[in-house]
Amino acid sequence: MELKQLQRKVGITFIYVTHDQQEALSMSDRVAVFNHGGIEQVGTPQEIYDRPATAFVARFVGGANVLGPDEARACSGTRGTFAIRPENVRLLAPGEERLEGWCCIDGEVVALQFLGASTRYQLTVPSGTVFSVLQAHGERPANGANDIRPGTRVRAGWQRADMHPLPEEPVQETQ
């Protein structure tokens, strides 16, 4: 806050280089996300976070879940590549019916991390990838369960409107 106030008082441009995402988002009027020396996206902190231009930006800034085309179709009925922020995902009871306008994926909890104000659940999903759920402390999973721990089978759900479309990544050829 002090650096931002000083910058505005003096009226000069600061270029601040950091890997600390919270610092970058809180201190900046504009953010540039670099990948291998090239710019992936430039925008306001909110644009970068809410509308990442690539899967790299989605994963790097805020750790979004990225669903590829096949997984997206299985979860939502929509083909494409999408980013879903962990804080927009809720734990549901396994086998629980889909809620109107919601998309779901089943998985197994492989790790959880109590963060004070929230808990981060890491799930492995059918594709083998890790899918994150960030749930506010005190907010019970939709099934009311309190005993979720590694090995617990869960269903994660999110509203379709929380899926941000991304360009499909090119398939890497193996040699």
- pLDDT at residue 96, as a whole number: 62
pTM, two decimals, is 0.83
Q: What is the DSSP letter of 13?
A: -
Buried b (16+ CB within 10 A) or exposed e, 75-106: bbeeeebbbbbbbbbbbbeeeeeeeeebbbbb
pLDDT for the residue numbered 143? 52
Give just the sign of the alpha carbon dihedral 159, 162, 167, 168: negative
Residue of 104, 109, 112, 114 lying closest to 158 (CA atoms): 104
Confidence at residue 145, expressed as pLDDT on a 0 to 100 scale: 56
- Residue 151 is predicted with a pLDDT of 94
- What pLDDT, on a 0 to 100 scale, did the predictor assign at position 7? 81
The CATH class of the 86-166 domain is mainly beta
Tokens matching residue 40: 């992936």
Domain boundaries, the chain: 2-60, 86-166
**Helix, strand, coil fractions of the chain, as percent rounded to 5:** 25, 35, 45
pLDDT in tens, the chain (175 residues): 787 788 888 988 888 888 888 888 888 889 999 999 999 999 999 999 999 999 999 999 999 999 999 999 999 998 899 999 999 999 986 556 667 778 999 999 999 999 999 999 999 999 999 999 999 877 766 555 567 899 999 899 999 999 999 997 665 555 5
What is the C-alpha to C-alpha distance for residues 112 and 97, in angstroms, rounded to an integer?
24
